[in-house]
Amino acid sequence: MNKVNYNDIFNEQISKVKATDKILLHVCCAPCLSGVIKRFEGLNLTLFYYNPNIMYKEEYDQRAQALIDYVDKINKGLAGVKFDKKVRLIIPEYDNLYFLNKISGFEKDKEGGTRCRICFALRLQKTYEFAKDNYYKYFCTTLTVSPHKDADIINRIGQQYEGYIPSDFKKNDGYLNSIKECKKHNIYRQTYCGCLFSTNNIKK
């Protein structure tokens, strides 16, 4: 079976997006955004930081602040990418309990297993709902830039929803670009995906 080239699909679909079309981009963190932001240059973009999986609140806030600072650089023209309108950033209320309830029973799953699929699904569903309620024509996610995440799984979930633009942002050196941009702009890079169960290296 031939593997789906989601990068080509993204390029094809994004080329049809008009400058006036509203796009909602789910953003997991500033490092991932830095690796993909140029792919949306010149479009009417809003960022949606919905990640209830992140533990603890201090970590969630630190990633949010890194994102706020990076978006400020984007809007001041300091990130090497241009937009006709300011890029908006929406940060919903933190609700880790919602995530914990959803993945209950799968805490001991291996990384990349059912727990992660549930996590992807709840974040993409929330992004879709916000996009629909606020008249965004398209939505997408930065999740596929991570080499630790399966773009096929993420896109199969996303394609259940109208307006979803598939991607594989690992292509075109997306992850490498992220590393370079973080060093260039001194962006905080977290050491684990988000949930307590994804690592043994954070406080218990």
The predicted-structure confidence for 16-39, as pLDDT tens digits, reads as follows 999 999 999 999 999 999 999 999
At 146-179, the pLDDT tens digits run 998 999 999 999 999 999 999 999 999 999 999 9
Name the nearest CA neighbour of 50 among 40, 63, 69, 39: 63
Checking if the pLDDT of 201 tops 60, the result is no
Helices and strands in the chain: count of H runs, count of E runs: 7, 4
Note whether residue 103 is domain-resident: yes
* DSSP H or E segment with residue 169: none
At 77-126, the pLDDT tens digits run 999 999 999 999 999 999 999 999 999 999 999 888 999 999 999 999 99
CA gap 125, 110 in Å, rounded: 23
We report the CATH number of the domain holding residue 150 as 3.40.50
At 51-80, the pLDDT tens digits run 999 999 999 999 999 999 999 999 999 999
So what's the pLDDT on residue 202? 38
- DSSP letters, 92-140, are PPP-HHHHHHHTTT-TTPPTTSHHHHHHHHHHHHHHHHHHHHTT-SEEE
So what's the pLDDT on residue 115? 95
Per-residue pLDDT, averaged over 181-188, amounts to 96
Note whether residue 192 is domain-resident: no
Note whether residue 193 is domain-resident: no
Note whether residue 163 is domain-resident: yes
Note whether residue 166 is domain-resident: yes
Local confidence band at 2 (pLDDT 50, 70, 90 cut-offs): low
Note whether residue 199 is domain-resident: no
Note whether residue 201 is domain-resident: no
Domain total for the chain?
A: 1
Domain that holds residue 161: 6-15+22-186
Note whether residue 191 is domain-resident: no
